[in-house]
Chains A and B, each alone.
Chain A
Amino acid sequence: EVVMTQSPLSLSVTLGQPASISCRSSQSLVHRDGNTFLTWFHQRPGQSPRRLIYQVSYRDSGVPDRFTGSGSGTYFTLKISRVEADDVGIYYCMQGTYWPTFGGGTRVEI
C-alpha cells in the first residue's frame, strides 16, 4: 500500500495570507500511462469531502484559482494564495495511481 504523508498536521493562517500543504508518497505516483493521479480534497466540518484538484494541478469546476496544485513523482503541494474564511477544514491528498490511499489530513484554521 502506498503511504501518503502530509505536513503540517495543522495550520493556523491569517485571512488574506497564503498557505501551503505538502504531501509525500512512499513511491512514485507516475502511472504506466504517464499520468500522475494525485488528488486534493477539502472537507469542511460536518460535510462530505469535496474534490479541489485532480492529476496534480487540474482544478475542478467552481474551484477558485486561489488554489494551486503542483509537484511530481513523490512530492506534491497545495497552495492557497489568499486564505478566506470558507477555506477552514481538513485537506487531504489522495493517490489513485495504485489502490487509492489518502494522506492523514491537514487541518486549516483561521
Chain B
Amino acid sequence: EVRLVESGGGLVHPGGSLRLSCEASGFTVATNYMSWVRQPPGKGLEWVSIVYPDGNTYYKDSVKGRFIISRDRSENTLYLQMSGLRGEDTALYYCAGDTVANNADYWGQGTLVTVSS
C-alpha cells in the first residue's frame, strides 16, 4: 500500500521560510515523478512543483526563485523548501506521486501553510 505523509506546515510571517516534508512508503520517491500540489482554503487545485526521476525540477511561475523541491533517496522523502512566503501561498499543500510525468495517482493528506502577520 502506498502512503504519503506530509508534515512541516504551520503559521509563518510574510517573507518567512518553511520546509515541508513528505515521507513515502510503498512508493520510491527517487525513481518516480513526485509533485507538490496546493489548494488555497475553499478554492481549487494548483500544481506547484515536480521533480523527475532524472532529477530535473520544474516550478509554477509564481514560485520560481522562492521554492525548491528536493528529495532524499535514503529517507525516501520529498521536500519543499519555501522562502519569501506571501499571503497568496496560504494553502493546504499536498504531496503527490505517479509513475508518469504531470500526473498524480497517489496523494497525501496535506499539510496547511498559513502566511499571515
Near B by CB (< 8 A), chain A positions 23-77 give 37, 39, 41, 48-51, 54, 60
Stretch at the interface among B71-79, B82-90, B102-110: B102-110
- What secondary structure prevails in chain B residues at the interface with A? loop
- What secondary structure prevails in chain A residues at the interface with B? loop
Size of B's binding interface in residues, CB under 8 A: 18
Stretch at the interface among B7-15, B17-25, B43-51: B43-51
Cβ of A37 and Cβ of B103 under 8 Å apart? yes
- Size bracket, chain A contacts: 20 to 34
Cβ of A92 and Cβ of B44 under 8 Å apart? yes
Cβ of B102 and Cβ of A96 under 8 Å apart? yes
B contact residues vs A (CB 8 Å cutoff): 44-47, 50, 58, 60-61, 94, 101-105, 107-110
What would be 19 A-B contacts, judged by CB atoms less than 8 Å apart?
A37-B102, A41-B45, A48-B107, A48-B108, A48-B109, A49-B94, A49-B107, A50-B107, A51-B103, A51-B104, A54-B103, A96-B102, A97-B102, A99-B60, A99-B102, A100-B47, A102-B45, A104-B44, A105-B44
